Structure 1
């Protein structure tokens, strides 16, 4: 496998309408409540929500900072987000995340694909992180 062949796919059902779920992804004050794995907290989020706009999220655990950043590549309101994702630093690996929002059973099904990951370890770590993060999102609508 080439480095860019590693990808993961996750789905999460949220018992809320698609507009509200999509909004949670694009409003920093909402994303600050859920946008990281459970063992972390968000210190700061900056978003320039437009195609070509950049985002930067500082996640905290004890004294450590983890900074995710990237650029929005495609936006279809209430339907789809595509953005690059990488950890800030000299060895930054740029990956690609696609999030699809679909109506399902009175709520929203989120289909998340994260691709261009460098290896199996990175894929497994990101899978765990996204599962935890999407569970945090689900809790915002209970």
Structure 2
């Protein structure tokens, strides 16, 4: 499955290849790589844009450096959802490699690789690949509404970056 969404300022491409345990995301932002990078590693910024509009995020732990770890809780009308992981590589303005685990399924650990490319003219391409431990985990995450959360989250990030 590949989906795209055209708006005034961006296109999101979500690739969920048949029979492969990955999800890939590509999204361009009208901001420089340093700003997009900071929004991913600064916990005060991260909680403002990550996930769908219906949730509120609270940081429990955040050490955004190579070897650091992170943890946060997303809250909505239905309850709380905890997530945690480790930063394996944090390369300023270029790349973040981390693990991602939903506390509701603690045996399912994903590896996420995020790369930022400077497109010039104050634009950045974000490419992210998540490698799941199984097709079942990947398909369950996709069925949970992942695409909706990614779209709304990145739309919030675009607006936040535009506001400075």
How many correspondences in the alignment? 139
- Taking the aligned partners of 1:31 and 1:7, their CA distance within structure 2 comes to 23
Compare relative contact order (CA 8 Å, sep 6+) and give the higher one, 1 or 2: 1
Q: Which runs of 5+ in 2 are unaligned?
A: 1-18
- Taking the aligned partners of 2:91 and 2:34, their CA distance within structure 1 comes to 12
- Taking the aligned partners of 2:43 and 2:25, their CA distance within structure 1 comes to 23
Is the aligned partner of 1:109 residue 2:125?
Answer: yes
Is the aligned partner of 1:136 residue 2:136?
Answer: no
TM-score in terms of structure 2 length: 0.75
Counterpart pick for 1:98 among 92, 99, 113: 113
Q: Which runs of 5+ in 1 are unaligned?
A: none
Asked if 1 retains the 8 angstrom alpha-carbon contact of 2:81 and 2:104, the reply is no
Counterpart pick for 2:72 among 57, 60, 69: 57
Counterpart pick for 2:59 among 35, 41, 44: 44
- Taking the aligned partners of 2:160 and 2:60, their CA distance within structure 1 comes to 18
TM-score in terms of structure 1 length: 0.86
Counterpart pick for 2:97 among 78, 82, 86: 82
Q: Post-superposition, which runs of at least 4 consecutive aligned residues in structure 1 deviate over 3 A?
A: 89-92, 123-128
| Alignment root-mean-square deviation, CA | 2.0
Measured against aligned partners, the alpha-carbon deviations of 1:74-98 in whole angstroms (never above 9, x if no partner) come to: 1111000010001124644100111
